[in-house]
């Protein structure tokens, strides 16, 4: 049983998606030759939506797989960060967040306050 395989695809805009897929396919063939019969998870970090080139690669993975075994997800960390930032930015016309950052910086620069 294989439960974890990590593959990172460069996020460069100028890279050809077919070249990225070929590289991914070569890695998967080397790590797990019968990868087309396994569940494959694709996750992105950062943007709330997957870039179009990643969606194209996922679509190609789905057509190459023996069964529809590809699932997609995005990180909720980015979405949570946006929500929290928007909330704190809305307090005191945006002054609260900048004041909180200044206070945090000041405290971190004072070792006696951290003891």
Shared domain for 34 and 62, answered yes or no, is: yes
pTM beyond 0.85, yes or no: no
Helix (H, G, I), strand (E, B) or coil at 44: strand
- Cβ of 59: how many Cβ atoms within 10 Å? 12
Q: Does 28 share its domain with 70?
A: yes
52 and 32 in a single domain? The answer is: yes
Domain that holds residue 40: 17-74
23 and 42 assigned to the same domain:
yes
Please indicate, yes or no, if residue 8 is contained in any of the structural domains.
Answer: no
Phi, psi of 40 (to 5 degrees): -120, 125
What are the pLDDT tens digits along the chain (115 aa)? 555 556 665 555 566 777 878 888 888 888 888 888 877 776 666 555 666 777 787 788 888 877 666 666 666 666 677 777 888 788 888 788 888 888 888 888 887 877 6
Alpha-helical (H) ranges within the chain are 17-31, 52-64, 76-90, 95-108, 111-114
- Provide the CA 56 distance to its chain's centre, in angstroms: 16
Residue 3: inside a domain: no
Using only C-alpha atoms, the chain has a radius of gyration, in whole angstroms, of: 21
């Amino acid at each position: 049983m294989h439960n974890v395989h990590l593959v990172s695809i460069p996020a460069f805009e100028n890279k050809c998606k077919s070249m990225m897929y070929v590289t991914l396919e070569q890695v998967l063939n080397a790590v797990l030759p019968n990868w087309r019969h396994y569940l494959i998870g694709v996750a992105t970090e950062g943007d709330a939506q997957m870039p179009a080139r990643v969606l194209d690669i996922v679509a190609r993975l789905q057509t190459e797989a023996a069964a529809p075994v590809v699932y997609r997800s995005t990180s909720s960390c980015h979405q949570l960060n946006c929500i929290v930032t928007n909330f704190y930015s809305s307090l005191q016309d945006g002054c609260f967040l900048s004041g909180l950052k200044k206070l945090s910086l000041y405290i971190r620069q004072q070792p006696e306050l951290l003891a």
